[in-house]
Structure 1
């Protein structure tokens, strides 16, 4: 009987931890979405820089979690590695976009980054959402 109680406690703790990770990941994704919308709409260099920096921070934080769809997968699984690689690709795109904006090329940054990020979002939401 004591063993069953311990197992139930462990399962409850595991579910609570998963919920915290999911909430954090959800918050990171919301930050990405809100700042991406701002980046798309703004013609102000400072707003674009702020949005891109917030997106980068959210991407780096999101790497510390995994989507609910991947809970239970080992960190070395192809799915988890694919998720982290997708975030690395987004981070690379954001770094390149930041460089363009800092160089005063906001319009070019929009033209290059928006289609690339839209494509990444579509592909990776299908895989991991």
Structure 2
């Protein structure tokens, strides 16, 4: 009787932690979405830089999670590597946009920020 109870408890703990990671990934994706919206709407370079900083942090954190579509894949699988490469590409583009914002080139930053949406859309097709 004791072994089935322990097995059920262990299973519930494992499934709970998977849900926790999914919630964290969803939060990171919401932060990215809100940040991109702010970047595209603002005319203030400092506001843009703050949004980009939040986006970069969320993208870095998202690398620690696995999308539901890739659950069960080994960490060294091609799909997981592709997921991480997509986030690395996003982070690199965030840095490009941030440099323009630091130079107070808001219009140029907004133009480059369009590429963030392109990266998002391409990766959503693969992993969402």
TM range (shorter): over 0.9
Aligned length in residues: 128
Cα deviations across residues 96-123 of structure 1 (Å, max 9, x unaligned)? 1111111121101111221x11211111
Please give the alpha-carbon distance, in whole angstroms, between the structure 1 residues aligned to 2:47 and 2:60.
20
Is 2:91 the counterpart of 1:120? no
Aligned to 2:61: 61
Please tell me the root mean square deviation across aligned C-alpha atoms, in Å.
1.2
Structural mapping, 1:67-82, within 5 Å? 67-82=67-82
Query: Does the Cα contact within 8 Å between 2:96 and 2:112 map onto a contact in 1?
Result: no
Structure 1: unaligned runs, 5 residues or longer: none
Query: Does the Cα contact within 8 Å between 1:35 and 1:51 map onto a contact in 2?
Result: yes
Structure 2: unaligned runs, 5 residues or longer: none
Structural mapping, 1:100-111, within 5 Å? 100-111=100-111
- TM-score w.r.t. the length of structure 1 is 0.92
Please give the alpha-carbon distance, in whole angstroms, between the structure 1 residues aligned to 2:82 and 2:6.
34
Query: Does the Cα contact within 8 Å between 1:18 and 1:71 map onto a contact in 2?
Result: no
Structural mapping, 1:29-108, within 5 Å? 29-108=29-108
Give the superposition deviation at 1:10: 2.6
Aligned to 2:11: 11
- TM-score w.r.t. the length of structure 2 is 0.93
Aligned to 2:26: 26
**Structure 1 residue ranges (4+ consecutive) displaced by more than 6 angstroms after TM superposition:** none
